[in-house]
Chain A
Amino acid sequence: GENVEQHPSTLSVQEGDSAVIKCTYSDSASNYFPWYKQELGKRPQLIIDIRSNVGEKKDQRIAVTLNKTAKHFSLHITETQPEDSAVYFCAASAPGGYNKLIFGAGTRLAVHP
């Protein structure tokens, strides 16, 4: 069935370091891959997304890469700051279109000053 695996489950870095979170999806028909950030007690918010016709996308300190052959996609955060501390969720669209997303279990990122 549809599945998204996300690693690591927790990640601790020093301020200024880079952080990388990796996800693997199961269904090759998935074509949309968003990343959501959820701060403690708050709602998930989209930080970046990528579609299957693109291999990489950047937005300031955040980048996402997609390898369709391996069914992998990754989130890269450079020059981390304490405000980057949150839980990050990757997701893959379920085949058939519409708005069904399959989420990974989340990565808790802690950025230490």
Chain B
Amino acid sequence: KAGVTQTPRYLIKTRGQQVTLSCSPISGHRSVSWYQQTPGQGLQFLFEYFSETQRNKGNFPGRFSGRQFSNSRSEMNVSTLELGDSALYLCASSFGDRGRTGELFFGEGSRLTVL
């Protein structure tokens, strides 16, 4: 079956702009998580959505937001971009069974460069 698909794969923005990233999960997966990956920082959790509801949120400012649609596809938005937002944004999907964390299937990521 098809894997997790993220679009766009690469994008360049300037400070102050906003950006929207998209993630299509594996068919049947209802949980979508977003992570920010920067060199030396590992993967930092942004938020997780399940059945169109945000279940978890990381320690990022309110400029970072997301949503999930009824078909489980998810988008994340970053407003008022800063240079420090340059990173690889990874989306991961899973079944999301309640109370039992399981394997996350990652997409290839969207690499954002802020100039």
- The yes or no answer to B1 lying at the interface (CB within 8 A) is no
Interface residues of B in 50-69 (CB under 8 A from A): 50, 55-56, 58-59
The answer to whether A44 touches B106, judged by C-beta atoms less than 8 angstroms apart, is yes
Mark contacts of A19-44 with chain B using CB atoms, 8 A cut-off: 1 yes-contact digit, 0 otherwise: 00000000000011010100000111
Mark contacts of A83-103 with chain B using CB atoms, 8 A cut-off: 1 yes-contact digit, 0 otherwise: 000000101011011111111
Tier of interface size on chain B = 20 to 34
Across-interface contacts of A97 in B (CB, < 8 A): 98-101
Interchain CA distance A59-B94 in the complex, whole Å? 22
Q: Contacts A99-B56, A100-B48, A102-B45; is A43 near B96 (CB within 8 Å)?
A: no
Across-interface contacts of A14 in B (CB, < 8 A): none
The answer to whether B101 touches A106, judged by C-beta atoms less than 8 angstroms apart, is no
Interchain CA distance A104-B103 in the complex, whole Å? 16
The answer to whether A94 touches B56, judged by C-beta atoms less than 8 angstroms apart, is yes
The answer to whether A106 touches B108, judged by C-beta atoms less than 8 angstroms apart, is no
Across-interface contacts of B115 in A (CB, < 8 A): none
Tier of interface size on chain A = 20 to 34
Q: Which of A36, A43, A98, A100 contacts B107 (CB 8 A)?
A: A43
Q: Contacts A34-B103, A44-B43, A105-B42; is A98 near B108 (CB within 8 Å)?
A: no
Across-interface contacts of B59 in A (CB, < 8 A): 1
Closest A residue to B43 by CB, please name it: A103
Across-interface contacts of A31 in B (CB, < 8 A): 101
Chain B contact residues, CB within 8 Å of chain A: 4, 31, 33, 35, 40-45, 48, 50, 55-56, 58-59, 90, 92, 94, 96, 98-104, 106-109
What are 23 residue pairs bridging A and B, where the CB atoms are less than 8 Å apart in the complex? A32-B102, A36-B106, A43-B4, A43-B106, A43-B108, A44-B106, A46-B104, A91-B43, A98-B50, A98-B55, A98-B96, A99-B31, A99-B55, A99-B56, A99-B94, A99-B101, A100-B33, A101-B43, A101-B45, A101-B104, A105-B40, A105-B41, A106-B42
